[in-house]
Structure 1
Amino acid sequence: MLNLISLIVGVVTVPVMLVALIPLLGWLNYLVIPMAIVGLVLGVLSDSNTGRNLNIVVLVIGAIRLSLGGFIF
């Protein structure tokens, strides 16, 4: 059950992350990263790895994009 919730959080977070890749919308990563962390925690608590892996990918891409923008954009 926790894996399903983690997947849902990840699937909701992916479109927001894709929008945050657009220049001048990088501030959305401040929303993406906490959402991905919540999904990651739920994925770690579950038996399956799918939700955890999805949220790890989203978290890494969001963190890289935020650091490339100088933590501003």
Structure 2
Amino acid sequence: MLNLVSILIGLVTLASGIVAFFPFLGWMNWLVIPIGIVGAAVGALSSSNGGRNLNIVLIIIFALRLMLGGGIF
């Protein structure tokens, strides 16, 4: 059950992160990354690894986007 919750949090993170890829909306990654961290924490409590892995991948992708944009753009 916790794995399903983690996957749902990951999907919310993904949808929000796609919006943050648009120019001048990179600041949204400061909001998206903590949501992914919560999803990874919930996934870590689960017996399955799918939700945790999804959130970890999303955190890495959006953190790279944040670094490439200089933290703002």
Q: How high is the TM-score relative to the length of structure 2? A: 0.95
RMSD, matched Cα: 0.7
Ranges in structure 1 where 5+ consecutive residues have no aligned partner: none
Overall identity of the aligned pairs, in %: 59
Per-residue deviation, 1:72:
1.5
Equivalent position of 2:59 in the other structure:
59
SS of match in other structure, 2:72? coil
Q: Deviations over 1:12-69 (max 9, x none)?
A: 1101111111111101101110000000001111000110111011100110000011
Q: What is the number of equivalent residue pairs in this alignment?
A: 73
Aligned residue runs from structure 1 range 1-73, under 5 A: 1-73=1-73
Q: How high is the TM-score relative to the length of structure 1? A: 0.95
Structure 1 stretches of at least 4 aligned residues deviating more than 4 Å after TM superposition: none
Ranges in structure 2 where 5+ consecutive residues have no aligned partner: none
